[in-house]
A and B are shown apart, each in its own frame.
Chain A
Amino acid sequence: MTAQILAPHESMELHEALNFKTLCLAKSKLMQGIVFDQELKDLMQKDVEQSIQAIAELQAVYARAPFQAPVPTNRPTPILN
């Protein structure tokens, strides 16, 4: 089955799932610098590794969204308030 374009609704679900997993990765990584308990830190590291893998899988499918576009290397216009 060729790489089919995703249906609209599932594309938005993947948008949500990818953002959620990205934030979970960021937080689990950040928290490792704050927690005291080593076992908790180790479990967060496991979550980090699983999340990295999950993000790669999500990105691959999300790339078939109808609204996909080339991904910039950084934000085009830095926001200076």
Chain B
Amino acid sequence: MNPDYLDPINALNMPEMADTTFATDFLIRAKEGVRNTAIALTETASPDARALLRNQLRQGIAMHQEISDLMMRKKWFHPYELNEQYQLDQLSANNTVMIGQMNLFPEDTRRKGLFDRTPDEHIRGNQA
């Protein structure tokens, strides 16, 4: 891969690297969810709030397990062979830094004025 976003060589292995990144994002959100819920649970007093959070904590732990298992099966995550994980981490960092340096969104993307009004408001059609 190289910093030229028009170079087709960058499409090589891209889907696999992209899915690795999306799965990792999914995994860290699940981890964050479990940790946040556990802490939230230790600050709640009301019985039904506790029951709710305890249930969501269990569900979060199960989802985290499922994501981890999928990632290991797909070789997107290597908790046992850390030299593999190391290579993946560094490669993903290099690729993502290159993407970060690309000039991908140069045009004006504000477009906010296009939404919050009726179609003909600018010619006072809405007062017709």
Contact = CB atoms under 8 A, between A and B. Distances in A.
A24 B40 CA distance: 17
For chain B, give the interface size range: 35 or more
B43 A9 contact: yes
A17 to B, nearest CB: 5
A54 B23 contact: no
B7 interface: no
A24 B33 contact: yes
A9 B56 CA distance: 19
A16 B23 contact: no
26 contacts: A1-B47, A6-B46, A7-B46, A9-B43, A9-B44, A10-B43, A10-B46, A13-B39, A14-B44, A17-B56, A21-B56, A27-B29, A35-B19, A35-B22, A36-B15, A37-B15, A37-B19, A37-B74, A40-B26, A40-B74, A43-B26, A43-B66, A43-B67, A50-B63, A80-B116, A81-B110
